[in-house]
């Protein structure tokens, strides 16, 4: 079994995450994927060869809003109950698994200080979660306690985040996968790095010579990033000011609210939207799927824009010209986000020598360099469900890399990859594995 060490970006090295591995594992494995607006429970049946998932079942549930700011016990009890129902429903009619404990991968997509492959401490919440009693606590222990309270016996075999899960599935399906990117409610990425290129990990060798680096890129910041007064206000009024700066420019949780802020300012400074609607002052009332629907409205009269302005923002009777202006605002905000995400992806490719610039010497042009097929696994509702966002991201990749290089870079959607990958890694680290 080849192996990869997992480095969580906080300088803490967990145990080994195998080289995605799961070539010989057979049996049924579970995963729980928690990290945004929805959580998923999953069950995967493995057939024993690479890329041989015999079957998979996924159940998605929205996280009730009040649980995002309640107590860890409330949150995990809710999750454990859902998991229990799922397991019992799936197993009804089949033999109870008495021979072997059920193995579970926990995909938990918040910044964690990884202590081992199956334990880690929550550093901070992001994406609108704020459960104070959980910060600084060991996550797997809290889940296991809730499972015991619900009378469900499962062994948590791995603790990973959505990027590592997505990379695991991506690599299981396609060995050319070098990185995983999530662009959903939040955003993050991880990539495969040569172990000897990681300064913090000097001396810790792996048989594969590689490690997975969890970038936590949502928290990236640089003074070169284009922050407007709308971004500054959004950040100041968020539950986590001065934090997750890159994420606040890019991800689905925030884009709709940036557009709301721009419309509010325009409405206050002019009369183009009529009297200022009180709805415009309600944070997050304009969710990103609504922004997408306005942006992608191709009706000549922009009927969808009109409907959303009326129904969501209580702004009525605006002229076609103003509706066009709203579409333009959506376009600017979305295009900026997509281009920043593309720049992040190119940053990874550059770091690992897959941006086509490696090895260019003495007069050789970019097109002379033999570029290896390079796959980036990608997941998240903003990328998968918002066509304009996706197109702008691809356009920017082509623009930055150049078409000769970009044609070798494949963004591959791994549906439910973060959870399925969690189950694959649970298989790789199962007590019998």
Nearer to ligand ADP, 40 or 323 (CB): 40
Question: In the annotation, is 127 catalytic?
Answer: yes
Least spacing, CB of residue 199 vs ligand ADP, in Å? 31
Q: Which residues pair with 43 in a beta bridge?
A: 30, 57
110 belongs to the binding site for ligand ADP (CB under 6 A): no
Question: In the annotation, is 162 catalytic?
Answer: yes
How far is it, in rounded angstroms, from Cα 54 to Cα 57? 11
Say whether 58 sits in a helix, a strand or coil. strand
Question: Contact with ligand ADP (CB under 6 A): which of 8, 163, 206, 288?
Answer: 288
Would you give the DSSP letter of residue 138?
B
Instruction: For the segment 177-236, give every residue that binds ligand ADP (CB under 6 A).
Output: 184-185
Nearer to ligand ADP, 36 or 170 (CB): 36
Considering only 32-40, 192-200, 223-231, 360-368, which stretch makes contact with ligand ADP by CB under 6 A? 32-40
147 belongs to the binding site for ligand ADP (CB under 6 A): no
Nearer to ligand ADP, 252 or 433 (CB): 252
Tell me how far apart the 2 most distant CA atoms of the chain are, in Å: 71
Residue with tokens 């019998």: 432
Considering only 2-10, 68-76, 147-155, 285-293, which stretch makes contact with ligand ADP by CB under 6 A? 285-293
381 belongs to the binding site for ligand ADP (CB under 6 A): yes
* Strands annotated E in 100-168: 102-108, 112-116, 119-122, 154-160
Least spacing, CB of residue 185 vs ligand ADP, in Å? 3
* Strands annotated E in 261-330: none
Say whether 352 sits in a helix, a strand or coil. coil
Based on its alpha-carbon atoms, the radius of gyration of the chain, rounded to whole angstroms, reads: 23
Q: Of 33, 127, 297, 306, which one is the catalytic site residue?
A: 127
What values do phi and psi take at 134, rounded to 5?
A: -95, -20
Is residue 22 a contact partner of residue 46, using CB atoms and an 8 Å limit? yes
Nearer to ligand ADP, 79 or 400 (CB): 79
Nearer to ligand ADP, 59 or 176 (CB): 59
Is residue 178 a contact partner of residue 354, using CB atoms and an 8 Å limit? yes
Residues that bind ligand ADP (CB under 6 A): 35-38, 184-185, 252-253, 288-289, 292, 380-382, 385-386
Q: Could you list the active site residues?
A: 127, 162
């Amino acid at each position: 079994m080849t192996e990869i060490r997992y480095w969580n970006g906080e300088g803490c090295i967990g145990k080994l995450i195998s080289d995605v591995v799961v070539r010989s594992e057979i049996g049924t494995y579970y995963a729980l994927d928690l990290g945004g607006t929805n959580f998923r429970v999953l069950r995967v049946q493995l057939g024993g060869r690479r890329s041989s998932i015999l079957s998979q079942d996924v159940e998605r549930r929205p996280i009730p809003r009040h649980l995002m700011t309640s107590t860890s016990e409330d949150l995990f009890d809710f999750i454990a109950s859902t998991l229990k129902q799922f397991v019992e429903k799936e197993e009804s009619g089949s033999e109870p698994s008495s021979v072997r404990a059920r193995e579970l991968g926990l995909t938990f997509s918040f910044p964690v200080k990884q202590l081992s492959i199956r334990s880690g401490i929550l550093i901070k919440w992001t994406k609108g979660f704020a459960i104070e009693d959980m910060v600084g606590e060991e996550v797997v222990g809290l889940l296991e306690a809730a499972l015991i309270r619900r009378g469900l016996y499962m062994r948590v075999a791995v603790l990973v985040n959505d990027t590592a899960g997505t990379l695991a599935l991506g690599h299981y399906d396609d060995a050319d996968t070098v990185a995983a990117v999530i662009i959903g409610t939040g955003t993050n990425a991880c990539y495969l790095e040569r172990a000897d290129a990681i300064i913090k990990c000097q001396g810790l060798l792996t048989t594969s010579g590689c490690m997975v680096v969890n970038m936590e890129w949502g928290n990236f910041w640089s003074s070169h990033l284009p922050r407007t007064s709308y971004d500054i206000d959004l950040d100041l009024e968020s539950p986590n000011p001065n934090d997750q700066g890159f994420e606040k420019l890019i991800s689905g949780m925030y884009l709709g609210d940036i557009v709301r802020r721009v419309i509010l300012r325009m409405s206050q400074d002019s009369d183009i939207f009529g009297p200022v609607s009180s709805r415009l002052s309600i944070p997050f009332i304009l969710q990103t799927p609504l922004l997408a629907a306005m942006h992608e409205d191709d009706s000549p009269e922009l009927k969808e824009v009109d409907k959303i302005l009326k129904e969501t923002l209580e702004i009525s009777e605006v002229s076609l010209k103003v509706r066009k202006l709203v579409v333009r605002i959506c376009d600017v905000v979305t295009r900026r986000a997509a281009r920043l995400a593309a720049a992040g992806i190119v940053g990874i490719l550059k770091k690992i020598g897959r941006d086509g610039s490696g090895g260019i010497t003495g007069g050789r042009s970019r097109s002379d360099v033999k570029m290896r097929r390079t796959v980036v696994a990608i997941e998240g509702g903003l990328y998968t469900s918002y066509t304009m966002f996706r197109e702008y991201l691809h356009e920017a990749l082509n623009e930055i890399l150049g078409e000769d290089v970009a044609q070798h870079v494949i963004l591959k959607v791994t549906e439910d990859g973060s959870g399925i990958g969690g189950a694959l890694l649970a298989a790789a680290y199962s007590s019998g594995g």
